[in-house]
Amino acid sequence: MARRDPKRALVAVVAGLLAACATPPPEADLEPAKAALAEGRLREGYLDLAARAARHPADAPTRVWLARARDRYTTSLITGATQALQSGQPDQAEPLFRELATVPGFEARARDGLQRVAAARAPAAELRLDHRLSAPAADPAMQRRVSLQFRDAPVRSVFDVIGRTAQVAIVFDRDVPPDLKVSVSLRDTTVAAALDKVARGAGLAHRLDDDGTVLVYPDLPRKQADYQGLVVRSFYLTHVDARFMAQSLKTVLRSRDIVVDPKINMIVLRDTPEGLRLAEQLVRMHDVAEPEVMLEVEVLEVKRTLLQQLGIDWPSQLSLSPLPMQLQVPGMPFDRNLPVTLRDVLNLRSSSVEAALGSLTVHLRREDGDVNTLATPRLRARNREKARIMIGERVPNITSTSTSTGFVAESVNYVDVGLKLEIEPQVYAGGEVVIKVGLEVSSLLDQTQTRSGSTAYRISTRNANTVLRLRDGENQLLAGLIQDEDLRQQGKVPGLGEMPVVGRLFTAQRDQHAKTEIVLSITPRLIRPLPVPSAGDSSFRLGTASGIRGRMEDAPPDDAPEAVEAPAADKGGERPQVTR
């Protein structure tokens, strides 16, 4: 059997110890990452913690700090990219969204952001409808420039001049009066604009057919129903409710043919191409992401206690009790104690009385303590949605109820004792957040029993309710919830304790002071600010009071149904609603 070299074994043990000493524990590895996060280098801190979590997957502190760093890092990326998009700078938002795509779990959020960047760079989206239903201005011939000067001229002659200039055929409806006249004075305008102005001035309407022919007809609801093409378009809504969107379309655009499918939050609209373009712009105004805010809350309970106890605590009582009489019985190994009789009490002597005197205690003590209880929750809340947090315990409150038959029933109600915080944010344009804050701090004082045997608790409560208006990243401290208690106790020897100067030797004094203060620190961080559309996206030309961009409105027949329900897709589901 081969012998082991003791020197080699010793060298191996020393090398192992050195390697173990050279490898710092995971907790020590977190210090560089913590420093990076504190200095605002969020990407560096996150990547450092992610690498250390891969090396130490079972280390709980590393995983906790990694979750915090990921939250701060992604929040800063999303906030910066969203603000860049709102300010009209998609080039600055794109690298932030691409950086967000590298964080596991945020790929879908990054893709959505990149789509918004592409939409911001592209011109305003238009409906890709069939060319036969497109507006006249979409045809290249309609963009030619023309100048017209007519006075009391037949309207058919004016349209013929415009048709020859644009090299398009003009076809009149049979109900267009041949003796209808119009006066026109236009300079350097497009053919499309000239057609529109001449038609409006004569009380007519027109449309460009698929073969380049312009159809002119009277601007009457019956004729519009014959000549205007209709298109069906579905809108899948992401953020706005389909019922509210349908009501907005009926109110603003006077749309009639709308189907609402609440199961998939979709609306189907049938209207003219121009009406669908207006509907798309209105949907774009409503279907925006709900603002969200991350609230960094810090609740600090500072309790300061001061105890001072000085003096001499003299004995306060002397107890005297007679000693029992003992009877010696021959043959028994112990004596028997006899009860004390009245004769024994009358014949008491100093040797038969037991004296018990309390102890003398000298107090020289001073205690000073500060107790800080810190809670730092991070609450993410949607706009106008309440966020609640409870830190404490639920104390059972038992109530007994008896009936006339003698039956006794007990019920248990739980009372929340501890820290309760309720926050409701409301995000406004410009990065301002209005926060309704409700804070309650309660503590259990004592427990009492009622006459019926029920258990009740005495609870100390401090409340604060306020409304704050803060900007993104602005901090606000709420303090002043103070509970102050003073307790002074003195123990003196009667007579001697009242003497000046010397009386301090016969006095014991206890002074106790306790002061508790609640401090609330709150900082809002906008994750998804309120989108503020540009001037071009927040307004569009609608038409006149009597017609929506060339569509004349008329009152529906009296027997027309207000709403028709479509058959349900499945049993128990909501049925789409068709409105007219």
Rounded mean pLDDT of 258-264?
92
Q: Are 216 and 173 contacting, i.e. CB atoms less than 8 angstroms apart? A: yes
Which amino acid would we find at residue 493? V
* DSSP one-letter string for 224-272: HHHH---EEEEEE-SSS-HHHHHHHHHHHS---EEEEETTTTEEEEEE-
Residue 540 within a domain:
no
Q: Name the range with the highest mean pLDDT among 305-309, 343-347, 413-417, 543-547.
A: 413-417
Please, which pLDDT band fits residue 264 given cuts at 50, 70 and 90? very high
pLDDT reported for residue 120: 78
Total Cβ atoms within 10 A of residue 250:
14
In a domain, 385, yes or no: yes
The Cα 237–Cα 260 span in angstroms is: 11
Whole-angstrom distance between the N-terminal and C-terminal Cα of the chain?
101
Domain for residue 405, yes or no?
yes
Residue 521 and residue 374 share a domain? yes
Is pLDDT larger for residue 361 or for residue 469? 469
Residue 272: is its pLDDT beyond 70? yes
- Token readout for 509 is 């004094």
Q: In the predicted model, what is the mean pLDDT of residues 128-142?
A: 51
What is the distance between the alpha carbons of residues 329 and 221, in angstroms, rounded to a whole number?
Answer: 133
Domain span at residue 247 reads: 231-288
Helices (H) and strands (E) in the chain, counts: 12, 25
Domain co-membership, 117 together with 144? no
Q: What per-residue confidence (pLDDT) applies to 245? A: 93
Average pLDDT over residues 30-42: 86
Are 508 and 421 part of one and the same domain? yes
pLDDT at 349 over 90: no
CATH of the domain at 275: 3.30.1370.120
Supply the pLDDT for residue 268.
94
Whether 412 maps to a domain, the answer reads yes
Query: Are 417 and 474 in the same domain?
Result: yes
User: How far apart are alpha carbons 199 and 191 in whole angstroms?
Assistant: 12
Confidence of residue 23 (pLDDT cuts 50, 70, 90): very low
How would residue 24 be classed by pLDDT, with cut points 50, 70 and 90? very low
| Exposure of 46 in the CB half-sphere (CA atoms within 13 A) | 20
**What is the C-alpha to C-alpha distance for residues 87 and 529, in angstroms, rounded to an integer?**
12
Confirm if 150 and 202 have CB atoms less than 8 A apart: no
**Given the structure tokens 């309390």, which residue do they identify?**
358
DSSP state of 543: B
Is 479 within a domain? yes
Above pLDDT 90, what percent of the chain?
Answer: 7
Higher pLDDT, 432 or 507: 432
Reported as a single tens digit per residue, the pLDDT across 43-71 is 898 998 888 888 888 777 788 788 888 88
Q: Identify the pLDDT of residue 530.
A: 78
Q: Is residue 537 part of a domain?
A: no
Q: Are 282 and 248 in contact (CB under 8 A)?
A: yes
Residue 322 CB contacts under 8 Å (≥ 6 apart), including other chains: 340, 344, 345, 348, 352, 353, 354
R_g (Cα) of the chain, nearest Å? 44
- Domain check: are 370 and 499 in the same one? yes
Task: Quote the CA–CA distance of 114 and 97 in Å, as a whole number.
Answer: 6
Is there a single domain that holds both residue 371 and residue 515?
A: yes
Q: Which of 190, 211, 227 is the last residue of a domain?
A: 227
Q: Using CA atoms, how far apart are residues 543 and 254, in angstroms rounded to an integer?
A: 12
One domain for residues 416 and 505: yes
pTM, rounded to two decimals: 0.56
In terms of domains, do 488 and 403 share one? Answer: yes
**C-alpha to C-alpha distance for 522 and 2, rounded to whole angstroms:** 72
- Residues 272, 189: one domain? no
pLDDT higher than 70, residue 409: yes
Q: 155, 182 in Cβ contact below 8 A?
A: yes
User: What is the tally of structural domains in the chain?
Assistant: 4
Query: How does residue 267 score in pLDDT terms, banded at 50, 70 and 90?
Result: very high
Residue 242, pLDDT above cutoff 50: yes
Confirm whether 327 is domain-assigned: no
Q: Which tens digit of pLDDT belongs to each residue from 449-463?
A: 777 667 777 888 888
For residues 142 and 575, the model is more confident at 142
Residue at 256 is within a domain? yes
Among residues 227, 250, 268, the one where a domain terminates is 227
pLDDT band at 410 (very low <50, low <70, confident <90, very high): confident
Kindly give the pairing relationship between strand 170-172 and strand 214-218: parallel
Euclidean distance between CA atoms 530 and 76, whole angstroms:
16
Calpha distance 151→182 (Å, rounded) = 7
Q: Say yes or no: 397 and 460 in one domain.
A: yes
333-337, 414-418, 511-515: range with highest mean pLDDT: 414-418
pLDDT tens digits along 288-330: 888 888 888 887 777 777 666 666 676 777 777 777 766 555 5
Retrieve residue 336's tokens.
């028997």
pLDDT digits (tens, 9 = 90+) for 87-97: 778 888 899 99
Out of 98, 124, 150, a domain closes at 124
DSSP readout, 334-361? SPEEEPPPHHHHHT--GGGEEEEEPPPE
Question: Can you tell me whether residue 138 is helix, strand or coil?
Answer: helix
- CATH assignment of the domain containing 158: 3.55.50.30
At residue 565, the pLDDT reads 38
- Of residues 477, 479, 470, 478, the one with CA closest to residue 524: 470
Give me the chain's average pLDDT, please. 76
Predicted confidence band of residue 559 (pLDDT cuts 50, 70, 90): very low
* Cβ-proximal residues to 550 (8 Å cutoff; 6+ apart), any chain: 205, 228, 272, 274, 543
Q: Is 96 exposed, middle or buried (0-12, 13-18, 19+ CB in 10 A)?
A: buried
Residue 235 pLDDT: 92
Same domain flag for 518 and 411:
yes
Please state which of the ranges 257-261, 288-292, 537-541 shows the lowest mean pLDDT.
537-541
In terms of domains, do 399 and 518 share one? yes
Q: Which residue has the higher pLDDT, 326 or 375?
A: 375
Comparing 81 with 367, the larger pLDDT belongs to 81
